[in-house]
Structure 1
Amino acid sequence: MTGLHWGILATGGIAHAFTSDLRTAGLDVTAVGSRSIDSARAFAAQYDIAHAHGSYEELVADPDVDIVYIATPHPSHVDNALLALAHGKHVLVEKPFTLNADEAARIRDAAADAGLLAMEAMWTRYLPHMVRIREIIAAGTLGEIRVVSADHTQKISTDPAHRLNDLALGGGALLDLGIYPISFAIDVLGLPERITAVARLSDAGSDAEVATAFVHSSGALSTSVSSSRGAGLNTAQIVGTEARIEIDRVWYTPTTMRVVSPSGEVLESFDGSVDGRGMQFQAQAAERFVSEGAAANGILPLDESVAIMGVLDEVRRQIGVVYPGES
């Protein structure tokens, strides 16, 4: 590791999960910033963090901070990331990277101009079982991949004021939940050439359920279902002509998976369970990319994060979801 000093921007639930995993992995968390100094101090005390700041501006100006984890809701990601980059800090931006592709491109361009790392915190891609899956695919074990399918379905509050239902906060199943299976399909098959999407909208106009079907350049298909109104199996599979990969519940977290032949024989079993949530792997990767250069990120290059936001933009266009301020 490079020994980078992390700053945590915001103190919500995802910030707690991330910081806990960084502490488990022995990484250096040196500062936290919140719009409330009391919240920052409480967070710092919980995780033994040296510096607590009562504003995001103070956090990114802290000379002891090298890299900032952006943990705010996604409508704030672009402003928070640009603020940190302007102060010379690398950024790891919680997924979804932004609200749309235009905002994502602004972060990409600012990072390139400053010579800094900007990276989407799609932590699933860095988990041990996902690393092994890419190795299996590269070895040709599956043959020709024909289908990728995954779902992300949870039962979440129906309160219109809840973040996931509020369009002003980027609410909807797609950006919070659907980003996982869609990013997974693109990781395996590349960007789609054809996109089809349908949805059921909430009374507030946010997407409560979204289903997608993509055709990729190889001709392979991918499907996803996301819902904030009901909890499903949350499994995934990659089906090839010679074998398939079955990823167990919950597929986007540290879990188990197996390679299965067409006849049902288990060719390989893999247990990717770890202590904690597994968010430390993306942080370790970010430190490595800072050391080696941002272009070293072959797992989720920034151009791909921008392109994925473009895919989500097209899905939203098809289902009729527009966030305030968008044309």
Structure 2
Amino acid sequence: MIQSPPKKIKWGIIGLGRIANSFATDLLTIPDAELYAVASRDQEKADYFADKYDAKKAYNSYEALANDPEIDAVYIATPHALHKENALMCLEKGIAVLGEKPFAMNAEEVEIMIAKAKEKNVLLMEALWTYFLPHYQYVLKLLESKTYGNILKIESDFGFQREYNTKTRLFNKAMGGGSLLDIGIYPIFATLSTLGLPKHIDASATFFENGIDSSCTMIFGYQNNVEAHLKSSLLEVLPTEAIFYCEKGVIKINTQFHCPSTVSLIVDGNEEVKEFGYKTIGYNYETIHFNQLIRDGKTESDIMTFEFSRNLIKTLDSVRKVINLEY
């Protein structure tokens, strides 16, 4: 019997900034998916994006895209503060939602989104792409199998320098700007996905004049004196690595650990570097997973679960409380 090809998933993208471009680029590499529609509040921008990535429809409002009955899934790439309302709008229409990290601005908003997804019986997942990258899955398996023994300490950071400009999303407090939510989430993710929730959190931060954090330094405490030392910064270039110090060796995800990267295994001063043969930006891995969830009729990922997204946003909320960052 000849099997019929899998259903082609028709995607929409809401919010057409830098990350949306990366997502669309990798979507083109997936044979059984297509970019069907895009939406911006600027028609010219929507038209340009649609032409660039061969989308059939270009809308000048997010609502218009959500009302298109042809769309199976939507990728939400708007600023953080809009994630909840955009997700709820699409879930209400029965469209599967892949929502950029952070899932929303706080745990309360995330709970509202999850409740709506359950009410409508529609797939919802946080788009934390790192979880799905082969090098990261490789490290998770090494740590889970205790190949190098238990974790003794984690060090992870993410930092780059940008000119302070409140007209851009990154520095706009109303849009959820600042280092913690935008890039601090990655070192926190690396810790939660390997050690789970911390028993206590210490943190300190520096701030821009508009009240958003310019840098954030964190120490997560666990049983047996295990600690995670984490940092995010918009003031300086940091190594952007994730280093797991274990009883029998060190596992280091090299620079830009959250992207396609290499892994160094260090034992007794000897270093072995693992390559993973990446040929894409890396967004295709989460998208392929999400497409399969749709085909299987699933409403929750077994990798990026609701419980993990809850823990992640609750931890971000806890850090914000310690450093006194309010939106």
TM-score range, shorter chain: over 0.9
Give the structure 2 partner of residue 146 of structure 1: 152
**For the residues of structure 2 that align with 1:157 and 1:140, how far apart are their CA atoms?**
43
Q: Which moved more, 1:29-38 or 1:157-166?
A: 157-166
Which whole-Å CA distance do the structure 2 matches of 1:24 and 1:105 have between them? 33
Q: In structure 1, what is the Cα distance between the partners aligned to 2:62 and 2:223?
A: 42
Deviates more, 1:186-195 or 1:218-227: 218-227
- Matched-pair contact (CA < 8 Å) for 1:234–1:251: yes
Q: Partners of 2:7 and 2:192 in 1: how far apart?
A: 29
Provide the secondary structure at the position in 2 that maps to 1:277.
coil
Given that 1:141 and 1:243 are in contact with CA atoms closer than 8 Å, whether structure 2 keeps it comes out as no
Instruction: Give the whole-Å Cα distance in 2 for the aligned partners of 1:200 and 1:21.
Output: 36
Match of 1:223 among 229, 235, 248: 229
- Unaligned regions of 5+ residues in structure 1, if any? none
Q: 2:130, 2:269 → 1: CA distance?
A: 27
Q: 1:273-294 deviations in whole A, cap 9, x for unaligned?
A: 4223211111111112223354
One-letter code aligned to 2:92: A
SS at 2:35's partner residue? strand
Q: Which residue of 2 aligns with 1:278?
A: 282
For these two proteins, the number of residue pairs brought into alignment is 321
Which stretch has the larger CA shift, 171-180 or 46-55?
46-55
Q: Which 10-residue stretch deviates more, 205-214 or 235-244?
A: 235-244
Match of residue 9, structure 1, among 5, 14, 17: 14
- Which one of the candidate residues 173, 187, 195 is aligned to 2:201? 195
Query: Could you tell me which amino acid in structure 1 is paired with residue 69 of structure 2?
Result: P
For residue 208 of structure 1, what is the amino acid of its counterpart? Answer: S
Matching residue within 26, 29, 33 for 1:24: 29
Structure 1 pair 41–306 and aligned structure 2 pair: CA distance change class (3 A): same
| Aligned twin of 1:299 | 303
User: Are positions 1:95 and 2:95 aligned together?
Assistant: no
Larger displacement relative to structure 2 (225-234 or 299-308): 299-308
* 3-state SS of 2:97 partner: strand
The gaps in structure 2 that reach 5 residues or longer are 1-5
Report if the CA contact (8 A) 1:253-1:278 is conserved.
yes
Residue in 2 aligned with 1:185?
191
Query: Structure 1 CA distance, aligned partners of 2:91 and 2:224?
Result: 37
Q: Quick one: which of 306, 313, 320 aligns to 1:309?
A: 313
Identity of aligned residues (%): 33
Q: Deviations over 1:2-39 (max 9, x none)?
A: 53211111211111111011112333111111222222
Q: 1:294 to 1:302 in 2, by over 3 A?
A: farther
Residue number in structure 1 paired with 2:122: 116
Alignment partner of 1:245 is 2:240 = no
Q: State whether residues 190 and 242 of structure 2, in contact with CA within 8 Å, keep that contact through their aligned partners in structure 1.
A: no
Residue from 59, 70, 74 that aligns with 2:80: 74
Task: Label 1:249 to 1:23 Cα distance change in 2 as closer, same or farther (>3 A).
Answer: same
2-side partners of 1:260 and 1:2: how far apart?
Answer: 44
Query: How large is the RMSD of aligned CA atoms in angstroms?
Result: 1.6
Query: What's the counterpart of residue 3 of structure 2?
Result: none
CA distance in 1, matches of 2:297, 2:249: 36
Instruction: Give the residue type in structure 2 aligned to 1:245.
Output: I
| Equivalent pair of 2:124/2:299 in contact (CA under 8 Å) | no
53-62 or 91-100: bigger deviation? 53-62
SS in 2 for 1:52: strand
Q: TM-score, normalised by structure 1?
A: 0.93
Deviation at 1:298, TM superposition (A): 2.9
For residue 19 of structure 1, what is the amino acid of its counterpart?
Answer: A
Moved more, 271-280 or 246-255: 271-280
Equivalences for 1:204-219 in 2 at 5 Å? Answer: 204-216=210-222
Task: Say whether residues 1:319 and 2:317 are aligned partners.
Answer: no
Partner SS, residue 110 of structure 1: helix
Counterparts of 1:167 and 1:66 in 2: how far apart (Å)? 32
User: In 2, are the aligned partners of 1:190 and 1:217 still within 8 Å (CA)?
Assistant: no
Contact kept? 1:85, 1:110, Cα under 8 Å: yes
Counterpart of 1:24, as a letter, is T
